[in-house]
Structures are given as C-alpha cells and as structure tokens.
Structure 1
C-alpha cells in the first residue's frame, strides 16, 4: 500500500469517527407547530386534529411516530392536553429539545419563537411580524388541563368555525404586557371567534401544537 493511499484511508476513518457521534446526538423530531391550518377552530374534533398532525409529520419524514394534537376538550369526558402527548423528551425539527418531560413542559421549558418551529423547521411569525400569527390553539389552562364551566374555550370541542372561542397560547412568549398569561405558550387569552377571519384578527392562523406520544 502506498503512503498516499494509507493517508487517504486514515483520513476517511477519522472522518467517520468524528461524524458518528455528532450525527447520533441530534434527537428525532417529537414536536412541531402545524405549518398549515384546517378550517378555523373546526379541526374535526381531537381525531381530526390528530390526523392532521400525523399527516404533516409523515410529509416531513416522521410518520413512524404516533402524533397527537396538544388540545383539551370540555364537558362530559373532558380531555387534558397534557395527558395526550406521552412523557417526552420532545425535540423540534432541528433536534433542539424543548422539554424533557410533561412537568418540564408545563414549567421551565425551552419553548421560544426560535425553537417552536413547524414540522418543516420553519419559524412561525410572532409579535412584531406581519402578519402576527403567535396565537396557537390549545383550549387549555396553563398546567395543560381542561377548563371547567360552560364558557366555550375549545370552539365546541374543535368542531366550530363560526361563533365561539378557543383558548390560545403565544408560541413567541410575547404579549401586550409582561404578565404571565401574555407570556404563556399555552394559555394566554380567548380568541374572538372560531372562523379563520376571527382567529387571524386575534393574532393567529388556526395553528396548533403536535407532539409525538411515543
């Protein structure tokens, strides 16, 4: 074997050794904001929202995981968003972990405008952008649980695209002030209605969070 060939082989082996650990460090995508809306607050219920998450994930090459929408419901048999999404950890499309557990997700997490990306790895418009789309549908309280009472916080359990309201969070953690609700990723304020026009007027675009439950 010539010295030149030995040097080339040694360099190739070194490249493999150096690249291996780096590639292994990136976590698979387990979280995203939907890149495309459905029909305002009418998501086809939880089942329809889950299907949308699954379809978007599959298009992004992550369809091998089970995806769930981070949405709560109200009334008899109310569902808590936090109970639907598995145990974590969850990373975005660029491999950045946004939370290691359900407790961390609803505590001190790593969700910001720069990390709360779509399944395509895109940044979603926030406060200060045109148009502002930082309102993300959740129907949830800050701890990820459902609301009690008769006031609509879920666009009729995600079946309305007209009258009604949905609780939204701010993915960019920014609002009109620095009070906790304004900075909340999952429980900031109610929308003006459930149609796309009303959601956009509030500062949204019918987007919601998707998490891999496995």
Structure 2
C-alpha cells in the first residue's frame, strides 16, 4: 500500500506532460488523405531528364499512390519553355487553385497568389516529402535543397533564349534548370526563394548533386 501511494505523485506529475505531448505527436503523423503537396522523396535517377511534364506528373502520381494519396490528380510544379511552335507552360497554371496541405496536414498556401507570396508556409519544416519526411537542406549531408522548377519567382516560364528547364525536362546532359531552395537558405540570385533561387550547374545527376540537389521536384494535387 505504501509503495502504491509513493507512485501516485509521479503518475500525477507525468499526466500533464503526457497530455501536452499528445497533440504535438498527433500533428506530426502523416495524413495522406489530406495531402495535396509534397517534394518527391526521390528523383527518377536520370538527372533533369524527367520524361517531360508527362513523366514528372506520372512520378508524382506513383509516389502519392504509394503514400496513400492516390485519389488526387497530381501535377509536378514545373514550367516549360516555348519551343517548336508550342507555347510555354507556367508551373503556377498547372497546380489547381488550392488550398494545399503537406503530408502532416499543415497548410502550405491557400491559393496560387498566396503560394507565390512571401507569407506562404514553405520551408524545411513544412515542405516535406510524400511520406511526411523532412528533406535535407543546407547544413545536412548530403544537401538536397535544390528543387527543380524551371520557374520565375512568381511561377512562370522564363522568356525564350536561355535554357532554364534542361530542354523542357528531357535532358540529362547539356543545359541548365532553374531551382528553388525548399529550406529558403543558401546562395544564388534569390537565396531564400523556394522556387527560383538560381540556375543549376547542368542537367546530369552529378551536376545537380554538385550544387546541392538530387533532381527532386514539387508535386501538387490539383483536385
């Protein structure tokens, strides 16, 4: 009886701590049914050659399905340049209207305008992969914070004349791609930009790694 009484204060002391931790733990759990935004946990393995927009969209859909979010239509956040008589494609025009939530149910942005505003909830803590995992950023080994976009800060394609999309996501050799910093840290023209920090050193897997990337890209559920 004496031992049981001694245990009571400890139990009472731990109860508030347990109650306080529970909501935090719950928020950290993956919520695939609500997820409409993620960074790919892996690239396709061939540098910036993603098989064009169609190949990138397919990769988004495959990863989302494996994570339990296959009911959405998924598009990669990638722009393409005008070429061969075909008009440019703006990344911002192919991702739906929002709002978008990450794998743990945290809202990233309410709308396209909000997504491209400085108040968007993008960053290392919130721009997670489809499994709810954090993507390596500046200071991690390896650093993989360069995310392929081919886009301007407002989510549009660049004017013709400069390759910013690795030949519209079909090249793993010559060319360059505009990348963003998902952790909003680093160097480049716009170091804190999640979608337009600087150009890559090339289009091959090795060139992307050299500047802090792994050929990862953003995926958005458009419905």
The alignment status of 1:208 with 2:217, answered yes or no, reads yes
Segments ≥4 residues shifted beyond 6 Å: none
Corresponding residue for residue 138 of structure 2 = 127
Corresponding residue for residue 144 of structure 1 = 155
Residue of 39, 43, 47 corresponding to 1:37: 43
Shift of 1:169: 0.2
The alignment status of 1:110 with 2:121, answered yes or no, reads yes
In the superposition, the TM-score normalised over structure 2's length comes to 0.82
Corresponding residue for residue 110 of structure 2 = 100
Structure 2 segments unaligned to the other structure (5+ residues): 1-25
The alignment status of 1:175 with 2:186, answered yes or no, reads yes
RMSD: 1.7
Corresponding residue for residue 67 of structure 1 = 74
Structure 1 segments unaligned to the other structure (5+ residues): 1-21
**Is the Cα–Cα contact under 8 Å of residues 98 and 112 in structure 2 kept in the other structure?**
yes
Corresponding residue for residue 206 of structure 2 = 197
Instruction: Count residues in correspondence.
Output: 190
Which secondary structure state, in structure 1, belongs to the residue aligned with residue 180 of structure 2? Answer: strand
Corresponding residue for residue 166 of structure 1 = 177
In the superposition, the TM-score normalised over structure 1's length comes to 0.86
The alignment status of 1:185 with 2:191, answered yes or no, reads no
**Is the Cα–Cα contact under 8 Å of residues 147 and 215 in structure 2 kept in the other structure?**
yes
Kindly provide the CA deviation profile for residues 73-117 of structure 1, in whole angstroms up to 9, marking residues without a partner as x. Answer: 001311000000000000000000010100000002000101000
